[in-house]
Amino acid sequence: MSATDRLSRATAGSPAPLAVVDLDVFDTNAADLLRRAAGTPVRVATKSVRVRSLVGRALRAGFTGVMAYSLDEALWLVGTGVRDVLVGYPTVDRDALARWAADPAARREITLMVDDVPQVERVRAALRAARAGGGDGALCLDVDSSLRVGLGPWQAHLGTRRSPLRTPAQVADLAAAVEAVDGLHVRGLMFYEAQVAGLPDTSPAVRTVKRLSIRDVERRRRAVLAAVRSAVGRDVELVNAGGTGSLESSAAGTGVTEVTAGSGLFVPATFDRYRSFEARPAAYFGLDVVRSPGPGWATAFGGGYVASGPAGPSRLPRLVTPGWALTRREGAGEVQTPMRLRRGGRDLRVGDRVWFRHAKAGELMERFATVHLVRGDEVVEEVPTYRGEGRAFG
């Protein structure tokens, strides 16, 4: 029985559109991510999951702590019992900062991300307004880990535009500024090499960029760690790096105490062309055919779940029902998705179910209130997504 036939059989009694996670594959992927990290602790990136029960499943499988994408989300997770939450991005949410500052448990369990003095000032203002006691607030400094090649005006920036912190002196200056604030301390540093972790190994040029990036980040991380040690008088507790596409190289980096992964639990379509690990898709969504416009055509209800990033075919969901493809003119539609029969495919009839994979991981779960957890050819549980629990963090 094919994977799509199995999913159709498992969900035959449930209306579509619907989201599905194959638990057998999810668990295999979790074990593989831990294996690839070779003993270095792995945080689960919640933005790539957005289902609280599956975040918990990853933690029970051996992941250590979570990386949240919002302080509001982190506060909610801590309130449900999650521990050791690193917020992966800076925040200017005054309400969330006020709640963090006023709650000793939140300050103990949540580490905030900063990369500039104005962000630190907002954290300090929140602590001052709350007259916080019962322990310092922990901050992590996000260090730019992009690759820059060339000189002067002919320099190319390869990687994401994230932090303004790049040189050891810049990082050390901000670390000293944090340590000078009563009630704050530098817990750690983050080095996210997006051009290594987030690019598929599609060509020799990409692989060359990755090799150069790994060497460059290794060299600069050593220098940054030394500069921060000198500025604050101690080694930092936490040095975070990497993502699903770079676990091996990131975990082996000098000074790295942990890595982060999340997309590798679901393995969305953008990860199909990586050579560093075996892609085992665990997350799908199913649509039902509602029209047959003509011979070789079928139309499904829903499906316009386009991923973030630069607009283009790579951001469209991938149709995995054999013998069918999206059309170039319409792609995945807001309310209906037309599909074209390819050679070797079987005809689809009104009422048949077709299956897709989202281009990215957790974004799919923003479209659904629940997700069906499948084992074999049956649904063993239906659990709420973040949105199903009434939570939307952006």
User: Hey, is 300 helix, strand or coil?
Assistant: strand
Of 216, 232, 267, the one marking the end of a domain is: 267
Task: Please check whether residues 261 and 359 belong to one and the same domain.
Answer: no
Yes or no: say if 105 and 80 are a contact pair by the CB < 8 Å rule: no
CATH number (domain holding residue 302) = 2.40.37.20
Does the residue 140 lie in any domain?
yes
Does the residue 13 lie in any domain?
no
Residue 92 neighbours by CB distance under 10 Å: 10
CATH number (domain holding residue 132) = 3.20.20.10
Q: Nearest to residue 21, comparing CAs of 285, 358, 369, 373?
A: 373
Task: Please check whether residues 58 and 143 belong to one and the same domain.
Answer: yes
Yes or no: say if 282 and 289 are a contact pair by the CB < 8 Å rule: no
Show Cβ contacts of residue 322 under 8 Å, excluding neighbours closer than 6 positions: 2, 4, 344, 345, 346
The letter for the amino acid at 17 is P
Pair of tokens at residue 358: 């989202």
| Strand positions, DSSP E, the chain | 18-22, 42-45, 66-68, 85-87, 110-114, 137-143, 147-149, 156-158, 184-191, 238-241, 258-261, 283-291, 297-301, 318-319, 324-326, 336-341, 353-357, 370-375, 378-384
Which phi and psi angles does 18 have, rounded to 5°?
-150, 155
Does the residue 14 lie in any domain?
no
Find the domain containing 187 and state its range: 23-267
Does the residue 157 lie in any domain?
yes
Residue-by-residue DSSP string for 148-217? EESSGGG-EEES----S--SHHHHHHHHHHHHTSTTEEEEEEEE--HHHHSS---SHHHHHHHHHHHHHH
**Whole-model pTM?**
0.93
Task: Please check whether residues 159 and 233 belong to one and the same domain.
Answer: yes
- pLDDT of the residue at 167: 93
Of 234, 267, 300, the one marking the end of a domain is: 267
Does the residue 194 lie in any domain?
yes
Task: Please check whether residues 183 and 236 belong to one and the same domain.
Answer: yes
Task: Please check whether residues 354 and 257 belong to one and the same domain.
Answer: no
- pLDDT of the residue at 134: 56
- pLDDT of the residue at 275: 76
User: 254-269 burial, b for 16+ CB within 10 Å, e for fewer?
Assistant: ebbbbbbbbbbbbbbb
Show Cβ contacts of residue 135 under 8 Å, excluding neighbours closer than 6 positions: 104, 107, 108
Task: Please check whether residues 60 and 141 belong to one and the same domain.
Answer: yes
- Assess whether the previous peptide bond of 384 is cis (omega < 30° from 0): no
Task: Please check whether residues 41 and 120 belong to one and the same domain.
Answer: yes
Show Cβ contacts of residue 387 under 8 Å, excluding neighbours closer than 6 positions: 50, 365, 366, 367, 368, 369
| Strand-pair category, 370-375 with 318-319 | unpaired
Tally the domains of the chain.
2
- pLDDT of the residue at 206: 64
Does the residue 273 lie in any domain?
no
- Measure the CA angle with vertex 264, ends 18 and 386; round to 5°: 45
Task: Please check whether residues 123 and 199 belong to one and the same domain.
Answer: yes
Residue-by-residue DSSP string for 95-136? HHHHHHHH-HHHHHHEEEEE-SHHHHHHHHHHHHHHT--SSP
pLDDT by position in tens, the chain (length 394): 688 899 999 999 999 999 999 999 999 999 999 999 999 999 999 999 999 999 999 999 999 999 999 999 999 999 999 999 999 999 999 999 999 999 999 999 999 999 999 999 999 999 999 876 656 899 999 998 776 665 566 556 556 678 889 899 999 999 999 999 999 999 999 998 765 555 666 666 666 666 767 787 888 999 999 999 999 999 999 999 988 888 998 999 999 999 999 999 999 998 887 777 888 999 999 999 999 999 999 999 999 999 998 888 889 999 999 999 999 999 999 999 999 999 888 899 999 999 999 999 999 999 999 999 999 999 999 999 999 999 999 8
Does the residue 274 lie in any domain?
no
Residue 6 vs residues 1, 14, 38, 326, 375: alpha-carbon distances, Å: 6, 14, 33, 22, 10
Task: Please check whether residues 240 and 291 belong to one and the same domain.
Answer: no
- pLDDT of the residue at 154: 57
Task: Please check whether residues 142 and 256 belong to one and the same domain.
Answer: yes
Does the residue 16 lie in any domain?
no
Crossing angle of helices 117-130 and 94-102, in 10° steps, is 50
Task: Please check whether residues 69 and 197 belong to one and the same domain.
Answer: yes
Chain center to CA of 312: 20
Of 267, 298, 330, the one marking the end of a domain is: 267
Q: What whole-number distance in Å separates Cα of residue 334 and Cα of residue 332?
A: 7
Q: What whole-number distance in Å separates Cα of residue 44 and Cα of residue 55?
A: 7
Task: Please check whether residues 258 and 336 belong to one and the same domain.
Answer: no
Residue 114 vs residues 11, 92, 126: alpha-carbon distances, Å: 44, 10, 14
